[in-house]
Amino acid sequence: MCMVIFAPLFAIFAFATCGGYSGQLQVSMDCLNKTDSNFSIAIDFAYPFRLYQVYFDAPLCEGKRRERLFLDGDFSASAELFVTTAVFAFLYSLLATVVYIFYQNKYRENNRGPMVDFIVTTVFSFTWLVSSSAWAKGLADLKEETDPDKVLQLISACRMKAECRPVQVPVWSGLNISVVFGFFNFILWAGNIWFARKETGWHHSGHHRYPLRSASEKQSSRQPYSQSSFEENPSFDQPMGGFITQHAVLGQQSSYSQVGSCVSSGPITFAGQI
Ligand SMILES: *[C@@H]1O[C@H](CO)[C@@H](O)[C@H](O)[C@H]1NC(C)=O
Ligand SMILES: *[C@@H]1O[C@H](CO)[C@@H](O)[C@H](O)[C@H]1NC(C)=O
């Protein structure tokens, strides 16, 4: 939860740098008959990088005749997985922020909020790792397929009738940054698993082994909880009350003190990671 400010922001960076990308490569063909030459054949491509749909017209160096050629490869799977992960991470972290700030009581109720947050955070950090790795691999292959030297091999006239050379390679900085942001998001979410786990209060579960202490904790903690949430939720069953109370209050006690430490230490921790 301490990452509330960073998570949406870095998710936006990830999907904006990848999803908003468009690149261009250029080659030049100098035919034996100069009038047929084309010195700047520009090939544009963009997210989601279905290169097999990207085409260009190259002179055949036989008068005005040309051939239409398509690039090779399809990197949409990894690119779309990456962007989808980023979009959902963005939406979830926004939602979590809203719930955390405006529905604090509902969030604490039954310890359900912290538990869901813990599970979802774990799933997201795993997804970030998988999608960033897949996208890093996809990007490496994309660079290979859009290498002007590789593209020139597709053009038949370059084999004998023309002198062909690369003019411009695509600018990759945007996509390189997207991969970096992907792995950074993984670190951010993986690091937050720890905070999310603290919020669940599970690290207090060791206390259950000591009945005396547990009982006294229950005794002292029943009061504040029954005032706040029990009145809002008359549907709570009495038999489960003790269990719920204990867990919820343990979560509450720990989190209120920890949110403070989290808020104060969180940004510093993550700033350190940057
Ligand atoms: C050279 O190729 C580009 C496509 O990249 C095309 O727009 C342009 O008309 C061509 N020029 C000539 C002289 O054929
Ligand atoms: C070069 O091409 C032009 C038209 O495309 C043609 O008129 C001319 O005869 C060609 N020259 C040679 C040497 O092939």
Residue 4: the pLDDT is 59
In a domain, 147, yes or no: yes
Cα(41) to ligand 1 centroid in Å equals 6
**From CA 41, how far away is CA 271, in angstroms rounded?**
45
In a domain, 247, yes or no: no
In a domain, 36, yes or no: yes
3-state helix, strand, coil in the chain (%, to 5): 70, 15, 15
In a domain, 123, yes or no: yes
What lies within 8 Å, CB to CB, of 117 at 6+ separation is 1, 96, 196, 199
**From CA 113, how far away is CA 121, in angstroms rounded?**
12
Characterize 170-196 residue by residue with b for buried, 16 or more Cβ atoms within 10 angstroms of its Cβ, and e for exposed: beeeebebbbebbbbbbbbbbbbbebb
Number of domains comprising the chain: 1
pLDDT in tens, 159-199: 988 899 999 999 999 999 999 999 999 999 999 898 888 88
Residue 243: HSE in the Cβ half-sphere, 13 Å Cα cutoff: 5
Ligand 1 neighbour 39 (Cβ under 6 A):
no
Its pTM surpasses 0.75:
no
pLDDT in tens, 24-71: 999 999 999 889 999 999 999 999 999 999 999 999 999 889 999 999
Ligand 1 neighbour 178 (Cβ under 6 A):
no
pLDDT in tens, 79-138: 999 999 999 999 999 998 888 888 888 777 778 888 888 999 999 999 999 999 999 999
In a domain, 51, yes or no: yes
In a domain, 153, yes or no: yes
Residue closest via CA to ligand 2's atom 12 equals 33
Domain that holds residue 150: 2-203
Residue 37: HSE in the Cβ half-sphere, 13 Å Cα cutoff: 15
In a domain, 232, yes or no: no
Cα(131) to ligand 2 centroid in Å equals 53
In a domain, 115, yes or no: yes
CB 74 within 8 A of CB 49: yes
